[in-house]
Amino acid sequence: MNNNWSPLSWRTKTALQQPEYKDKDALNKTISELKLLPPLVFEKEIEDLKFKLRLAEKGKMFIIQGGDCVERFADCNEKTILNKMKILLQMSMIITYTAKIPVIKIGRIAGEYSKPRSNEFETVNGIDLPSYRGDSINSYRHDPSKREAQPDRIIRGYFHAAATCNYIRSITRGGFADLRTPSNWNIEFARETVTSGEYRTLIANVINSIEFLECFDGVNNEIINCTDFYISHEGLLLPYEEAMTRKSLRQNEFYNLGAHMLWIGERTRDINNAHVEYFRGINNPVGIKISSEITPDELIRLLNILNPQNNSGKICLITRMGCKNVKKYLPDLIHRVKKENKNVVWICDPMHGNTTLTKQGIKTRDFKDILQELTDTFLVHKTNDSFMSGVHFELTGERVTECIGGAINIAEENLEEHYETYCDPRLNYDQSMEISFLLAKFLKNA
Ligand code: PEP
Ligand code: CO
């Protein structure tokens, strides 16, 4: 086990982006209660994910990680969860079928209830409010008293994550993902686009292939019926993460059993601070969000702390540079990681470096910038003898209007029609399908 580490050793360091709880006794009581509640995931599932990430590291599997920027408690309902699962499964199918590569499916789901914020305060309709930090911390309501951090929301976060995770298990294990039930794979595009025709043809081909194999008794029912799906969130709210950290059944080691994978955000990855201290002790795979601000030296220091044994399948570097920065900053990071023989899985998050504000002050992202960052990242890896082994998207299965562009051509003027996110703008259903086809084509030609 790591020297001097415990699930609470983060408390000795500076913890950024934490809410200030006025009632400390209530917070401690909540954490003690949470420690007695059952885990959401099982250690073996986490080890299975690490095994697959080792394959992704070598370019033999591809990762799709996606979901809301922030999940709301109100999103813990049948329709929203099912639609999110449907889009993630459909995207994976497009990639697997077109590029002939198996996909590791990881949701930003069942725990993405707390957010880092750039500003302590925000002004809504002329009123200054403490920033909304996610439903497990405070309320989105435009009322200053509701913006206070409340410890009981942490427990509510746990139960919403548990209900979401439970339904995901039913969807993935109970036959929804059965490739022979085309109705589950059907879609209604907002309007007919190139992608809708392409998708229908793809599904018809998949079903044809399965029927063909069935004639030879050659389809493994387990594979066709079920799918592996992993849950992940940013490990931001440290009292929650501490409470979900449990001793391994086998050895004197620790896992965070509130998610299969967790990531450290761009704002909290300082090596001297509490988040890095917490993350260095858990056995889960760990994502690290990195922008163009990280230097190669800093990255290597971070890797030495978080993965001192240089284990394969352990670290995912999630680059989110912005489309204008990829060619300038990514090559040096790749060279240095290769020079030091560090084992990492590279994932591209083309969302967080491409956020802009419209003239009306609405946060958006342009589909073409997202695509540009993906394309440049893919090519920079390819020309430097490395792999972009996955993608990380903020998306939803609903028909929201939050990102502009794409074949359905959402314009700035349309943004207010269905702008629902409480935090960052997400790709909607049609934009997510479109990006999957484009991505599948580069992977096919890789
Ligand atoms: C996020 O993933 O929603 C986020 C805040 O990302 P980053 O830490 O990369 O800014
Ligand atoms: Co976000």
Residue-wise pLDDT for 76-87, tens only, equals: 999 999 999 999
CB 207 within 8 A of CB 180: yes
Question: Which residues hold their Cβ within 5 A of ligand 2, which is an ion?
Answer: 69, 424
CA of 199 to the centre of ligand 1 (A): 30
Residue 189 confidence (pLDDT): 62
Summarize the confidence of residues 124-146 as an average pLDDT. 93
Residue 252 confidence (pLDDT): 83
CB 311 within 8 A of CB 46: no
Ligand closest to 421 (CA) is 2
Residue 213 confidence (pLDDT): 78
| Residues listed for the chain | 446
Rounded distance between C-alpha atoms, residue 264 and residue 270, angstroms: 10
Q: From the CB of 392, is ligand 1 less than 6 Å away?
A: no
pLDDT over 60 (residue 1): no
In this structure, the residue with its CA closest to atom 10 of ligand 1 is 266
- Binned at pLDDT 50, 70 and 90, residue 211 comes out as confident
- Binned at pLDDT 50, 70 and 90, residue 311 comes out as very high
CB 310 within 8 A of CB 340: no
Q: From the CB of 320, is ligand 1 less than 6 Å away?
A: yes
337-372 confidence digits (pLDDT tens): 999 999 999 999 999 999 999 999 999 999 999 999
Summarize the confidence of residues 146-172 as an average pLDDT. 96
Summarize the confidence of residues 182-211 as an average pLDDT. 77
Rounded distance between C-alpha atoms, residue 443 and residue 163, angstroms: 35
Of all residues in the chain, the percent with pLDDT exceeding 70 is: 95
Q: Residue 220, class by beta-carbon neighbours within 10 Å (0-12 exposed, 13-18 middle, 19+ buried)?
A: exposed
Residue 135 confidence (pLDDT): 98
pLDDT over 80 (residue 192): no
Residue 202 confidence (pLDDT): 86
Which of 112, 292, 352, 363 has most ligand 1 atoms within 8 Å of CB, for mutation? 352
Residue 194 confidence (pLDDT): 73
Residue 297 confidence (pLDDT): 98
In this structure, the residue with its CA closest to atom 8 of ligand 1 is 265
pLDDT greater at residue 123 or residue 418: 418
Residue 217 confidence (pLDDT): 67
The ligand 1 atom nearest the CA atom of 266: 8
Which of 355, 424, 427 has most ligand 1 atoms within 8 Å of CB, for mutation? 424
Q: Which of 159-168, 212-221, 287-296 has the lowest mean pLDDT?
A: 212-221
Q: Residue 324, class by beta-carbon neighbours within 10 Å (0-12 exposed, 13-18 middle, 19+ buried)?
A: middle
Residue 22 confidence (pLDDT): 95
pLDDT over 90 (residue 196): no
- Mean pLDDT value across the chain: 93
- Binned at pLDDT 50, 70 and 90, residue 219 comes out as low
Residue 199 confidence (pLDDT): 86
Most confident of 186-200, 210-224, 385-399: 385-399
Sign of CA dihedral 399, 405, 109, 160: negative
pLDDT greater at residue 91 or residue 252: 91
Task: Provide the pairing of β-strand 261-264 with 230-234.
Answer: parallel
pLDDT over 80 (residue 398): yes
- Binned at pLDDT 50, 70 and 90, residue 187 comes out as low
The ligand 1 atom nearest the CA atom of 116: 5
Residue 215 confidence (pLDDT): 82
CB 299 within 8 A of CB 359: no
Q: From the CB of 289, is ligand 1 less than 6 Å away?
A: yes
Summarize the confidence of residues 132-154 as an average pLDDT. 96
pLDDT over 70 (residue 304): yes
The ligand 1 atom nearest the CA atom of 234: 2
Of all residues in the chain, the percent with pLDDT exceeding 90 is: 82
Residue 139 confidence (pLDDT): 97
Residue 195 confidence (pLDDT): 82
Summarize the confidence of residues 304-317 as an average pLDDT. 98
- Judge if pTM exceeds 0.85: yes
CA of 395 to the centre of ligand 1 (A): 13
